[in-house]
Amino acid sequence: MRMRPTLVWTPAEDWPAGTTDLAPVVDALDTGGVLVLSGAGISTESGIPDYRGEGGSLSRHTPMTYQEFTSSAQARRRYWARSHLGWRTFGRAHPNAGHRAVAAFGRHGLLTGVITQNVDGLHQAAGSTDAVELHGGLTRVVCLSCGTFSPRAELAARLEEANAGFDPVAAAINPDGDADLTDEQVRDFQVLPCTRCGGILKPDVVFFGENVPPARVERCRTLVAEATSLLVLGSSLTVMSGLRFVRQAAEAGKPVLIVNRDPTRGDRHALARVALPLGPALTTVAARLDIRVD
């Protein structure tokens, strides 16, 4: 599955309207067998912006593509300088009520799994230990030459040492960990190679234009097939890598429920879209199920 740079999507005039009724979500979770598919919207309450919501980063920021990263040393310098600064923000982010609610649902046996389109690791930090990171995670780095994986924290320490005094002011931090910096601010940033072979290092995330590993895709398809229903949390479903799982569930006759304040590309496949903020909505759902969200 290849991540294509589908950056915008506009709903048709007759697109289904949202609701504020949480009863379908409560009923689905009460039945059990729910698979969660989450997007950037679940992390906004942790201080990480989303892509396409109001004020989303795509209004001012185009994510790095795999082709640009691998073909241009200057693009890699720009990426790593901005990502290194953004990592400081990501490293301080904590799970919010939405992440904690999902983890609580899992602990109570209501979920068959979690698929997240996010790269921030907040589901895992909240306790969802079996979450499948569809687009990878910023906590790991991979060498494009020898395939060696290493902790992002290790590279961050090396970059801090090699770029002493690097502390520019960013205009904003984006959901992929990229900070908005000018070319002048990143001009002298030192990019570091793999310590094992000297190859190019890349965060273990799927860039736009890059393939999601086939085994990961098949794992997600299996999770959809095994689930009773699909609950989408905080995703516009603009990118096909997430939308195809919604379509798979709908084609199999499984109920699809979406909690997202704005319309999504999957609304026509959904039983309902609940247009409420995720943290309060999921906390309310948990209370109705008599589940404590720690």
- Known binding residues for Zn(2+) are 143, 146, 194, 197
| Residues of the binding site for NAD(+) | 39-59, 117-120, 234-236, 278
123: helix, coil or strand?
helix
Active site residue 94: no
The rounded distance, in Å, linking the Cα atoms of 205 and 142 is 9
Nearest to 256 by CA among 285, 222, 234, 232: 232
3-state helix, strand, coil in the chain (%, to 5): 40, 15, 45
| 176 phi and psi angles, rounded to 5 deg | -90, 10
DSSP 266: T
- Using alpha carbons, list the distances in angstroms from residue 74 to 65, 84, 167, 293: 13, 15, 19, 45
For 52-85, letters b (16+ CB in 10 Å) and e give bbeebbbeebebbbbebbeeeeeebbbbbbbbbb
For residues 231 and 34, the answer to whether their CB atoms sit within 8 Å is yes
Torsion of CA 133, 95, 51, 280, to 10 degrees: 120
The rounded distance, in Å, linking the Cα atoms of 235 and 41 is 6
Take residue 1 and report the two structure tokens written for it.
């599955």
Active-site position among 84, 99, 135, 269: 135
For residues 185 and 171, the answer to whether their CB atoms sit within 8 Å is no
Take residue 4 and report the two structure tokens written for it.
């294509």
213: helix, coil or strand?
coil
- The residues carrying an active-site annotation are 135
